[in-house]
Structure formats: C-alpha cells, structure tokens
A and B are shown apart, each in its own frame.
Chain A
Amino acid sequence: MISQVVKDLKEGRLDPEEYVERYYDRISKFEKKINSFITLRSKEEVISDVKESIKRGGRLAGVLIGIKDAISTKGIRTTCASKMLEDYVPPFDATVVEKLKREGAVILGKTNMDEFAMGSTTETSYFGPTRNPWDLERTPGGSSGGSGAALAAGFVDLALGTDTGGSIRAPAAFTATFGLKPSYGTVSRYGLVAYANSLEQIGPMSKNAEDLGLLYSIIAGDDPRDATTIPYEVKEVPSEISVNGLKVGVLKDILEASEEPVKGIINRIIDKLSSEGAVVEETKLGYAEYALPAYYIIAMSEASSNLARYDGVRYGYSKYGDGNWKETFSKNRGDGFGLEVKRRIMLGSFILSAGYYDQYYVKALKVRRLIKNSLDQLFAKFDVLVSPTMPILPPKLGEMVDDPVKMYAMDVNTVIANLAAIPALSMPAGFYNNLPVGLQLMGRYLSDTFLVGISMFVEKLTKIYDATAPLQ
C-alpha cells in the first residue's frame, strides 16, 4: 500500500536510498526483457528528488511513479513512442504531472506505449514492443502497455496511463493490475498529447484498489486550461462497501463472445458476487454491435486532425532542409510516423472529407448517442455492469499487430465506456495457465470512486492484489 510507504519514508522506517535501490535493482535485472520504459531517469537524480520530496511532504511524498510517454513532463522528453517526437522535450508539465509533483510523487521514467496510443498491444512503438512480465512471448496489451508491464514486473507501484478506447484497461487486464478509465471531464487532458480528444482520459494504474483510489483522487479535478473538464470534487472512496443488495448487470452478449477460459473465470467471480448477496441479472446493451465501428470512425477522424501539427517546423522530426515546404512536410511526416499512425491519419482524413462526413462521422455520432441512451436505461436498473475487460487472453507478439481488423476487435468491450463518457475499471479476476484475466466494472457517470470501492471488495474475494510476475 502506497499510504504505508509514504508513512514509512516520512517516519524514517524506510531508507529513501534503499527504497529507490529496490526498484532499480529489479529494473537493471529485467528491463532488457520487458522494455517497459522509453526514458528512465538516473538513479542519483531520483534519489535526490525522493529525499527532497520527503522533506516537503504530501500524500505521495517520495513515492516513485511511471508516467505514460503521452503525458508531457517538463524537461523530460515526451516521445509518444514516435520517431516524430524522439527528441521532443516539453517546456511544461501536464496538469496531472503538476498535481502529482505537488503531492510529492517522483517520476521514475516515461513508459512505453503504442505510437501516439494507436494500438492495443504496445507493439507499434518506435522504441520496440513491451513484453508481458507474466509471459515474455506475449504482449502486455496496449496502448499503456509500458505502465502495465512496469507494475507487473515490480519496477514501480504506481503509474499513469491514458485510455481512448481501452488503453488503460487492456494492459491492466493482461498484467493482473488495476486501471481506471475515469468519467470524461474529471481529469484534465492539458499536456496529454492528443489522439482522440472526445474519447480519452488520463487515468490511474496500480497494483491494488486502494492505491488506485488514492492516485485518482490526486489527479482528478477541473482545470481552467481544459474546457472539457467539469466542476468536480472527488468523492471519498467508500471504505466499507458491501455487495449485499448491489444490483449487478452482466453483459451477456459480451461475455458469450469471449474466449472460453476468460468466460469461465468471469463466471466464477459473478457466482461469488451472487453468493455475497449481490442481485445479479443478465442483460444486454443496445447497439453494441455498432460500438466498435463508431468508436474507430470518431477516433481516427480526431486523430487525423490532431496529428496534422507534426510537420517538423517548430519541433519534432525534421530532416529535410531543402525543397519547398510541401516536399519538406511530406518527407518529415512520411518518415516520422509509423505504419499504424499513417493508416489512421489516412482513414480519418477520408472520413472527414466532403461527401463522406455525413455518411460516416455524423452517423458515428448518432450511434454514440444511442449507446449512451441505452446505458442510461441500464443504469436506471443496475448499480454496476460487469464483463470481461478483454475478450481474449494476452495474445502473442506479432499475432495481432499485422492484422488491424483483428487488433481493433480486441477493444470491443472497452470502447463502450469511452463512447458514453462513463467510468470503467479493470481489475484482476484470475489466471488461466498463469495468464491474467481482467474483470471490467462499468458505472454511472461520475461514479468513479464507487467503482473503486467495489473493486476493494472484489479484491478481497479474489485475493489477487499486489501481484508481481515471477521474473527470473
């Protein structure tokens, strides 16, 4: 528990150097195999920051944290796992980073991800794929795979991810860690390198439910620099939540469509909840079959616009000095972006062009509204909706990345929450042949801390928390 670490550091029971050393030891042993960091800070710098931070105090005084490399950190390069931003060092901190620093957290490094968060396996990174600490042949999920893998490998106990269509929850599910995609507008996006603005949120990742709630309470809150944040005061995580009488909806279609081992593990949890007094009922989300295409249409459209700024003029990859600006822009963009990013820019540009806009983009927005309405109806009846986070077990490296349709289909359970702006949490549900399976909890808009409360109860049932992969 992070709260205990903070206390021990403050009261001198834990030596700051020893504390930091412990993580760097594991990193030096295993990071070569995992590749969870794009940029790791030097141990000396980190130790000095930790000591300083303990003196100043705060709810995270001295605690190490990994930050997904899509989040701007002043003075530390922020690459978004792209050649385009390989050497880009932001002159400012994202709002969430400011908030973390104010509470005394110390950045250990910047974690690996799919390039510009476009991917579900952390394989599209310019800096090479991240491997799953539970099985090095497999991916840790994505796009926040570096954060998930670093937690599971014991490199760090807290991390930030970002979630546009499941990018926090997929790695949480595949690495037996905890991740929350917050309600849209509760966490500032200022400083988050934009992929799809209307869908994405920065969110906490951790090894247990309590730490998840603590990290969320620190990063949440409205921000005058992000007009999409809402006036919001984070509610306390309910400490002694009971599932007795809790109305639980099981998304049957989604469960049925999952791989057998995943289905089995989730069913066992549902049975446990039922025997604890939860009122469990199977239900169905309307328009679910349109969620995935609607999601990808919106995400790619916004992405094509957001990524227009990378031309090499003000920052970023810029190799070509000669020729006119059109040639230079084309060459910089052609060389600087990876294949998946280019695919999404091209599809997004196509969707937004005259004649197709109404046919695709406007229609996708309609689907989005219908899904939201359908969820509103479900939440009139249920307190929480449960499903597997991912329909499959962690795939092997290379299994998905070359088949975009297959890769996009991995996100079928997770994109719903992004389309509807509601909170969604993934937590460890169990293991199948030592491969983690994640449980997804979705709740009403702004019920984030309530979901964390439920996960605290569930982790007592599963007894899976603070899980670290047995690396050799």
Chain B
Amino acid sequence: MPKIGLEVHVHLNTLKTKLFCSCSSDYINKDPNTNTCPVCLGLPGAIPVLNEKALTYAIMVALALNCEIAPALVFSRKHYFYPDMSKNYQISQYDGPGSMAVAKSGVLEITNKKIRIRRINIEEDPAKIIYPTGSMLTSKYTLLDYNRSGIGLLEIVTEPDIESPKEAREFLEKLRSILEHLGVCNCDMEGAMRADVNVSVEGGERVEVKNVGSIKDVENAIKYEIARQKAAIIQGLKVERETRHWDSERGISVPTRTKETDEDYRYFPDPDLPPYPISKDLIKKITAEMPELPDARVKRLVEQYGISRKEASILVMDKALADFYENTAKLYKDYKKLANLILNDYLRWLNDKNIRASESRATPEAIAKLLSLLDKGVITIKIVKEVLPEIVLKGADPDQLIKESQLTAIRDLEYLEKVVEEVIKEDKDAAEAAKNDPKVINFLVGKVMKRTGKRADPQLTNELIRKKLGV
C-alpha cells in the first residue's frame, strides 16, 4: 500500500483583511502590487499586527477536526531566502521548544477510515511569482505580485494515513465541505485550497509534490506518483527523497533542482507578536457558536426530507448544493423528486461543464417552478433537461423561457393522433414489429418526439400508438 500524507493550505479569504495588516483579503483580479502596504511589503520599520478573527477561524477548524488546542497562539519566524518572500522569513508556527502549533492531534473520518491530523498552523502566504517568458526554469526574468503577500493561511497536515488517490480526494472533499460550512474559506476562489502531497511506495523513500492546485490535480498527482515510483522500483531504480513540482498542464510531476536536505529554518518566536492566550472560555464560546457541520447535516437531511443517506452525503459534499436543495425544498414539497432532479440532472450537467454549485445562477424559485410544470404535464422531462442550461447560466425564468421557445408539452389529441398515424404509415415494418416488442414501441415514440421537437407528451404518445396498433 502506498503511504500518502497531505499538507493542505487553505486561504482564509473570508477574513476581510490580510493576516497581519489591513490590506484586503480579496486580492484576485486586482492590478499587480496595488493591494499592498508597508507591512505586507516588508518595508523597514513595519510591524505585523494579528487579525484576531483568524484565531477564531483556526479554533473552529481545530474543533471540527477533533484537535487538541494549544494554550496560547505563538507565531514563529521561519527563515529562508526566496524571491516571493517580503521579509525572507515567513510568519508561521513551529511545533518545538518555546513554541507550538495552534492545534494538533486531530482526526477526520472518511468512509470506513480515520485520517489522523498531525497539526494545524496559521501562517502568511508569500507573494505570487510570475514567469512571463516561459517556465520557472526557462523564463528570462521574473515578476512579483505582492497582492497575495500576507494573506492568512491555515496549514492542515495529516499523518500518512491515506492509501489511495480516491481516499485523498474523499478526504479533501470532506475537508472542503467542513471549511465551507464553517465559513472560513471560500474554496471556489482561485488557489484557495492547495496541497503539498507526500507519496511513498514500498521500497522507496518519500517524495513531496509541491503546490498542487485542485482536488482533481491532487488525485492525478498521486496516481502519477504511485505509477512513476512503482515503475522505477520494478526497473531496479532507487526512489530517493526529493521535492517535485506538479505540472497540471501536462499531468506530470517534474523534479525541482533543489537538493533535498533538512533545511534549517532557524525558527524563533516572533518578537513583534506577543503570545496570545487561548482561554478555556474562548474555546467554550466558539464551541457554542459553531455552525452545523457536514456529518450532522447529512443526518438531519435524511430525517427531515426522507432522502437516502447517499443522496444527502452528495448534497452536503458541496455546501452550496445542499443550501440550494434546502432552499428549494421550502418551495417544492416532493423532496425525493427534488433530490432526484438536483443530483441526477442538475448536478450531472454542472459537473460536465465543470461549474460549481455556487457559480450557478439558478434560483430555488426557478427549479421549484420547473418541477411543478413537469408535475402538471405542461412540460416533459426532456424539456426540463433542455432548459436547465439557460437557467443555470443566465438565471432565466422557466415560465418565460418555455413560453418564448414554445416548449410546452403537446397534449392535443387530434394533433398527436395525426403525427402517430404518419409515423406508423412511414415505417410499416416497425409498426408490425411493435405489436410484439415494447422496445419498438419506444422507437416509434422517439420518432414522434423528434417530429414534435421533443414536445409530445411521451406518456400520451405511448398510449396512442398502442391504441392504434391494437396492442
């Protein structure tokens, strides 16, 4: 079994500011180096001051991951020279003498398994490096954008308890759902959740793949690494300890030129940030104000709406989807049918198009209306599927949409009978075969649908064909 450990970096992008200054935490789509100040640029004389909300967020996550919480918040300086660092040290946390991580020794349960959490750190993000004329290795020069410098991060480190790419994905999806339910991270934002992936296979050393940007990429990077490392061992090559980068374009990991040694970061407590005591009362207060977590929500959805555990789990995996379901359920009371539509038609289409539920412009009103139109037979399920994209992408109103594009189901008996007659006349062989084979009846229904632009009521058409053929 391969051993896999994750170091997940989560942007605290729902804090209004950066971790140690009052610059905005919303740094995306801004002109380079406009979201900066003396503190996050590391100007001489600038001093960091903690946004205390970050501590509340860290404690919430620690509680959700069943961690032990430290008696005080202590920041340490982690020293290394690199062009993206504004101070050539990162304000982070260190689990060692005179210092401690904000939380440690937790656990997150996935299907039939517990993944242990080693520790949780609060730290600051460095600036963004841009290679304008190629890759890290080939670009003639490098640009730096400090808009991201100083954004608050939670680093969540697991023990190497994960054994497959699938488990890694499940772990990350569940973690993401927890973070979204807690409101500490808008994980849809670009780069909001990144991971360093440690993979080792039997007979080889640990390889770290740095800076993998999405859950899908984590799964792919692990798959790739397992295959690469196993192949190397089969060929009799050594898998040595090294750091690699994930090239998501090409879907491969590439070695970095850095030599893998235990770098000495010369940690010491940051003298600008006095230790901040974490009292029992503070933890009690935060515990009392914790929002509903995914596991509890799954249980509640099953009880409240009578849907299956599996359905509830899929909904809750994406907080926005579960919210959407519950908001629509206030307007449309056939909860099972609603779950069915949302999970099968709505979600599948979103997944195909790589759209997250939070990005959909569909309103609960629109989906409820669509379902009641279906119930009344005004439209067919095929039409439902057809109009979903318009509703999701443009937030269209189903009434308007169906009226404008004349998509209401055709239940006009005289008209339908005429079409049925035509279809039977045109394909006499099929008509004959249909008398003994229900599948062929469906074939004829399909022909009628095609001729009516998918608007014929399928149930009614089926009945008319049977009647005509005397079946």
* A residues at B contact (CB < 8 Å): 71-72, 78, 80, 85, 88, 90-92, 94, 189-194, 196-198, 224-228, 301-302, 304-305, 308-309, 311, 313-315, 325-326, 329, 349, 352-354, 357-358, 361-362, 365
Contact = CB atoms under 8 A, between A and B. Distances in A.
B94 to A, nearest CB: 11
Contacts of A362: 97-98
A417 to B, nearest CB: 17
A343 to B, nearest CB: 17
Interface in B69-95: 77, 79, 81-83, 86-89
B291 interface: no
- Specify which of B81, B87, B271 lies most central, judged by the most chain A CB atoms within 10 Å of its CB: B271
Nearest to B37: A92
A91 to B, nearest CB: 7
B51 to A, nearest CB: 11
Given A189-B47, A313-B144, A354 B79 contact: no
A313 B83 contact: yes
Contact of B45 (A94, A301, A357): A94
A308 B81 contact: yes
- Specify which of B44, B88, B268, B272 lies most central, judged by the most chain A CB atoms within 10 Å of its CB: B44
B42 interface: yes
Contacts of A193: 44-45
A192 to B, nearest CB: 6
Contact of A228 (B77, B86, B146, B272): B272
10 contacts: A190-B45, A194-B44, A194-B45, A305-B266, A305-B268, A311-B81, A325-B142, A329-B81, A353-B266, A354-B266
Contacts of A354: 264, 266
Contacts of B38: 90-92
A358 B97 contact: yes
A295 to B, nearest CB: 14
B231 interface: no
B268 A315 contact: no
A309 B42 contact: yes
B45 A90 contact: yes
A304 B79 CA distance: 10
Contacts of B268: 301, 305, 352, 357, 361
A94 B205 CA distance: 51
- Specify which of A228, A313, A362 lies most central, judged by the most chain B CB atoms within 10 Å of its CB: A313
B49 interface: yes
Contacts of B81: 308, 311, 326, 329
Nearest to B48: A227
Contacts of B83: 313, 325
Nearest to B263: A354
Contacts of B134: none
B266 A352 contact: yes
B44 A85 contact: yes
Q: Which 3 A-B pairs have the closest CB atoms?
A: A308-B88, A352-B266, A197-B271
Contacts of A352: 79, 266-268
Contact of A90 (B44, B82, B264): B44
Given A91-B38, A309-B86, A314-B43, 5 more contacts: A90-B43, A90-B44, A315-B43, A315-B44, A362-B97
B278 interface: no
Contacts of A80: 44
Nearest to B262: A354
Contacts of B47: 189-190, 225-227
B403 to A, nearest CB: 59
B255 interface: no
A78 B45 CA distance: 10
Contacts, number: 102
Contacts of B395: none
Contact of B88 (A91, A228, A309, A361): A309
Nearest to A79: B44
B273 to A, nearest CB: 6
B77 A305 contact: yes
Contacts of A311: 81, 88
B132 interface: no
A392 to B, nearest CB: 30
Contacts of B48: 227
Contacts of A85: 44
Contact of B49 (A88, A90, A226, A365): A226
A361 B76 CA distance: 14
B23 to A, nearest CB: 14
A351 B383 CA distance: 73
A198 B47 CA distance: 13
B41 interface: yes
A76 B267 CA distance: 34
A318 to B, nearest CB: 13
B274 interface: yes
B50 interface: yes
Interface in B25-53: 38, 41-50
A40 to B, nearest CB: 21
Interface in B223-276: 264, 266-268, 271-274
Given A197-B271, A308-B79, A329-B81, A192 B87 contact: no
Contacts of A314: 41-43, 86, 146
Contacts of A329: 81
Nearest to B42: A309
Nearest to A200: B271
A329 B84 CA distance: 13
A227 B44 contact: no
Contact of A353 (B44, B146, B264): B264
Contacts of B86: 309, 314
B42 A227 contact: no
Interface string B393-408: 0000000000000000
Contacts of A90: 38, 43-45
- Specify which of B41, B43, B142, B274 lies most central, judged by the most chain A CB atoms within 10 Å of its CB: B43
A304 B268 CA distance: 11
A227 B272 contact: yes
- Specify which of A78, A80, A196, A228 lies most central, judged by the most chain B CB atoms within 10 Å of its CB: A228
Contacts of A361: 268
- Specify which of B41, B50, B266, B272 lies most central, judged by the most chain A CB atoms within 10 Å of its CB: B266
Interface string B141-163: 01010100000000000000000
